[in-house]
Each structure stands twice: as C-alpha cells, then as structure tokens.
C-alpha cells in the first residue's frame, strides 16, 4: 500500500535531526555542497619547506660566540689541500685584455 508523502517527509525530518544533515525534501539547489567541502588552504601552503635556522644566523645574532661550522671548515681545508698540490684556482685577471693575452687561441 502506498505511503502518504507527509509520512516520508516526517521520516526524512527525523533522519536529518538524528544524523545532523540538511533537510531539503524538494531537492532545491542550496549550494550546501560548497559548505560541506573542507578547506585545503593550509595543506597547500605547507608544500614548500620553511626556512630553518642555520649556523650563519647564529653567527650573525651572537658575533662574539665561538661557533664551529663543519661544512665551512671542510671547504677551507679542501682549498688548502688543492693549493698545496698546486691545483688551486688561477689568479683573477684585472682586465679583459689580460685574460685574452694567454687564454684565447686563434682558430
């Protein structure tokens, strides 16, 4: 036997009250699906890693403190080794003319 529409609407009302959903028996377009979407702003903004504190910042903030920068010391030692072997970087030429004198070869 057919159930009267008012009973079904009452049932829907009770369902919505229990499950805390929106009551819309005529299926009107209210735009509620926009309100249901979760915001994805913070998740997107956290894509790139933020800048963290480095030893350089520490040295700038506390210039009188003794700090040991591993990477910097390694780099300086590497340059020293190269220089001792005679493989260090060549001297910088003062002007364009000086750099042309020795380097450029006529083809």
Partner 1 sequence: MAQFRAKKLDLGCFINIKNIRDHTKRKVFEQHEPERQALRYLIRNTSLPQRTRAQAQLQLTQMHCYTRPTQIKNRCIMGGKGRGVMRDFRMARFQFRMNALAGRLPGVKKASW
Q: Write down the least CB distance from residue 11 to partner 1, Å.
A: 24
Identify the DSSP state of 79: H
Identify the DSSP state of 64: T
How many residues are recorded in the chain? Answer: 107
Q: Write down the least CB distance from residue 30 to partner 1, Å.
A: 6
Q: Which residues bind partner 1 (CB under 8 A)?
A: 28-31, 33-35, 37, 39-42, 44-45, 47-52
31 versus 86: smaller Cβ distance to partner 1: 31
Q: Write down the least CB distance from residue 62 to partner 1, Å.
A: 20
Q: What is the 3-state secondary structure (H, E, C) of 26-47?
A: CCCCCCHHHHHCCCCHHHHHCC
33 versus 91: smaller Cβ distance to partner 1: 33
41 versus 90: smaller Cβ distance to partner 1: 41
What is the residue whose two structure tokens read 């340059």? 79
């Amino acid at each position: 036997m057919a159930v009267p529409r008012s009973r079904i609407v009452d049932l829907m009302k009770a369902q919505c009250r229990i499950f805390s959903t929106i009551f819309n028996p005529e299926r009107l377009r209210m735009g509620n699906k926009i309100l249901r979407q979760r915001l994805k702003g913070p998740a997107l903004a956290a894509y790139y890693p933020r800048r963290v504190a480095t030893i350089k910042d520490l040295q700038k903030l506390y210039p009188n403190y003794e700090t040991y920068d591993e990477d910097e010391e390694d780099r300086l030692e590497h340059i020293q080794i190269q220089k001792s072997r005679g493989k260090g970087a060549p001297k910088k030429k003062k002007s364009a003319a000086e750099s042309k004198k020795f380097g450029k070869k006529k083809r």
